[in-house]
Structure formats: C-alpha cells, structure tokens
A and B are shown apart, each in its own frame.
Chain A
C-alpha cells in the first residue's frame, strides 16, 4: 500500500474513493497464511467458493488453484472447509 497522504484540497469530497479497493493490499493484516498440500488436494474448489475475499484464484490453463497473499487476511475458512484437510494455516 502506498503511504502518500493527500491534503483536504486535493481529495474528492464525501469520502468518495479515487483509487480502486484493490490498491489496498489488505493481505498485510494476516498473521497466519494458508499453505496447501498438493498431494492431498483434489481441486474440488470448495475453498475457492468459501473464500470471503476472493483471494483463492483459479488458473484455467493449469487447472489449479492458487493463493493471492496480497489480499488473503488469513481467516482460515479455506482450511476449515477443506474436506481433504489439504490446507494448513502456518505462522507468517
């Protein structure tokens, strides 16, 4: 996230966002991150559907999932929902 801060004369009124929300790398909130055991994962995509932040990605060419740690807040829902216990939350 950029740390540059603008004065009141420069910013839009009323708190209207002049930068997209994706500029804010909210992944830096996390203390634990999901790590997947590729052997156990059967790519059922339950984690992909449950992730509240859209931080689990689907690569249609490789036909595989990935984690976008820029936005993953480490909530652990993916690990809790995984039927194969293939995701472990590890300390960053």
Chain B
C-alpha cells in the first residue's frame, strides 16, 4: 500500500488524540473531565455536537462510572474510547481490572499527571505506573504525532481477536497535552480502512454452543459471573497468554501503519536511538526521550558513544528486545518519572535491572528519579547523567545506585 497524502495540522497532544478518535468510527465515548486530559473529551464532545461523528457520548458523574459505562458498552460489541489521568485514573482502578478480566477492548488515553498529596496537576508517570499490573496494554508516546498514530493503532491492537486486551496510550501532561505541534493526519478514508470495524469472535456459551462474544439478546451469554478458586486462576492465566501474544501483534500493526503513514517508532515496542555501538545508554519513556536524543547527538559530535533506549510498550514488556538492545552497553542509566517509596529505585529501573540479569554481560545499571510533579528535565541534567555513566565506565564502579536528579538539596 502506498503512503497516503497527509494533512499537516497544528495540534496539541490532546487534540491529536481527539482527532484520531474522531476518525476511528467509535461507537461510545464516556468520560469525566480531569486536567490536563479535559481537552481530549472536550474536543470530542464538539465533534459529537457538530454531527461530525456518529458516537454516543455519555456524560457521567465520575471516572469510576465512566469506565464502567465503557466496559459495559464494549461488552455489547461496541468500539469504545475514554480518557483520564492522575486521580481520575486512580478512581478507575477497580474497573481497570474488571475491564481487562472481561476482555473488553476499551481504548483509553492517559495524560500522565502526578498523583496528589500535595496537590499537583503536572507531569509525571506515577498514575499509569501503578496501573501496570491491571492487564492493560500500555503504550508511552514521545510526541503529539505519536499520540495520534498510537491512538489509531490502539484500536486495532486492543480489538485483535487473539488479544482482546484493553489498551492505554500515555502522553505526558502539558509537555505534550497542551503544547502545539505539527501533526500529520491521514485522510479519513485511509484511517477507516486501517481501523476497520470491530470483529467479534465466537465463544462457547450456554450449553456449549458457539455464539458471538458479546451481549446480544438473540444469543444470550453470561458475562462477569462469580469466579471462585476453581476457575478464576485459569482466567488470569488466559490473560497472561494474550499478553504474551501481544508483542508480535503490536509489531505487525505498527508495521502495517508504517506502510500507510511512513512513520515508524523503532519496532513498535522499543525505539533504540544510536545504540548500535553505544558504550553508555539511557532508558526512558515518554517525552523526555526527545530531549535525550538531542543530548545524545551533542555527545556524539564530541565522539562520546552515547545512546538511548525508549520503551514504547511497557505492557507487554519486551524482555528479549531490551536485552538485545542493551547487552553490549557498558553502563545504563534508567530514568524514572515516578518513584516507589521505600524501594530500591523506580519501577522502570527494577524491571530493566532484572531483565539484564539474563544478558551475556552485565552492564552497570543506575537509576535517576526525575521530573516529579512536572519538574523540568533540561538538557543540562541529562548531560550530568551521561557524565556519571562515563565515570562509571572509566572507574568500573557505581557510587550511587539510585539518585534523585533535579531536586534541590
């Protein structure tokens, strides 16, 4: 398929997501506004009001209800979208598990914002990091273009009949959500063709008869029943099996999308940047990767072999891809935009370090907690991280395993 002719629009990250949802033939949107996610559903409600989409827009009284509405709408076979972040996502916590357990392929945009105490509405990734175990696919984007692209891909991924896993697309608050960027958008008909309509698989229903996996009065099935110690574990095992199938399917959909859009993000799971011959590397998620790439370029002009690994999918977590990308690096700095209090470092650090235990050579791996509550992560601080890594390579010694960077002492 040829690359489609595209329109260049000036969109914020929120608007880019709303535009993608507008083009994706979504049946039901139910959401509750929370800053800085509000603009996504605000824009979308305008599309509904103007008759530009044929979508049922359901206003509810809380995020708990918003996701409950999405789950039940999805159970009828509808294509469903919602958006949230921070405290709103935390209020959805219970229903996140019910949604993934019901195998309802809901797509949700998360605008990454700190979890309060003291109150803060700015960017960090604490909100979605605590939901990494909820059985949802998690895609973290670097810029508004990728927010648009990933939202389109998320419908295909979530609704893939070998997966049926709900999917979250994460974009950094304000840095992406409220910043105007040039975003290439595909023609409506190209998107329609790419996302298609939701396919419903057959499932064994009452009496063992094969029926469509949806709530349908013509073919009634029982969804969401009590599931005790005799079968609950088997259903959880099935969810893990679907997650294991996810990396391959995400890659295929990412490649198919690249053929119509001309845009690729690594292999769809990870995006290595100048890593081939790198001696030192940083690992991060989200918009910080953009700044870090600039720093890598600056270091490269000085002959320093620096690289970056951006994780695009955090769930599924692409173990072998990460090993392949990092095993020849001598020192790795993980950058965590969230923290697990009392633990030895942030959540991404835990997993990267655990993953590289199986690498042929163990690089030194250190962690930097940064940017909590929207604290800026300028090039200067990223340079400090790479300077630390050079020192570790030179001395073969790690002085501090976990550090807070950008915080006043």
* Nearest CB in chain A: distance from B201 CB, A: 9
Of the candidates A6, A13, A16, A19, the one whose C-beta lies within 8 Å of that of B207 is: A19
Is there an interface contact between B235 and A13, defined as CB atoms closer than 8 Å? yes
Q: Complex: how many Å from CA A68 to CA B230?
A: 26
Q: Which residues in B have their C-beta under 8 angstroms from that of A14?
A: 101-103, 164, 213, 223-224, 235
* Nearest CB in chain B: distance from A20 CB, A: 5
Chain A's closest residue to B203 (CB) is A12
Q: Report the number of A-B residue pairs with Cβ-Cβ less than 8 Å.
A: 64
* Nearest CB in chain B: distance from A61 CB, A: 28
Q: Complex: how many Å from CA A13 to CA B232?
A: 11
Q: Which residues in A have their C-beta under 8 angstroms from that of B222?
A: 16-17, 21
Is there an interface contact between B205 and A13, defined as CB atoms closer than 8 Å? no
Is there an interface contact between A16 and B234, defined as CB atoms closer than 8 Å? no
Describe A's contact surface by its main secondary structure. Answer: loop
Task: Give the contact-size bracket for chain B.
Answer: 20 to 34
* Per-position binary interface string of chain B over residues 194-218, scored 1 when its CB falls under 8 Å from any chain A CB and 0 otherwise: 0000000001111110000100000
Of the candidates B208, B227, B237, the one whose C-beta lies within 8 Å of that of A18 is: B208
Chain B's closest residue to A15 (CB) is B227
Q: Which residues in B have their C-beta under 8 angstroms from that of A12?
A: 203-205, 213
| B341 part of interface (Cβ distance < 8 Å) | no
Q: Complex: how many Å from CA A18 to CA B231?
A: 12
* Nearest CB in chain A: distance from B74 CB, A: 11
| B221 part of interface (Cβ distance < 8 Å) | yes
Is there an interface contact between A15 and B205, defined as CB atoms closer than 8 Å? no
Known: A12-B204, A19-B208. 19 other contacts (CB 8 A): A5-B230, A5-B231, A6-B234, A11-B234, A12-B205, A13-B235, A14-B224, A14-B235, A15-B102, A15-B223, A15-B231, A15-B235, A16-B205, A17-B222, A18-B205, A18-B208, A19-B206, A19-B207, A21-B222
Query: What are 13 A-B contacts with C-beta separation under 8 Å?
Result: A8-B234, A8-B238, A11-B204, A11-B234, A13-B203, A13-B235, A14-B102, A14-B164, A15-B223, A15-B232, A16-B204, A19-B207, A21-B222
- Interface set of A (CB-CB < 8 Å, partner B): 5-8, 11-21
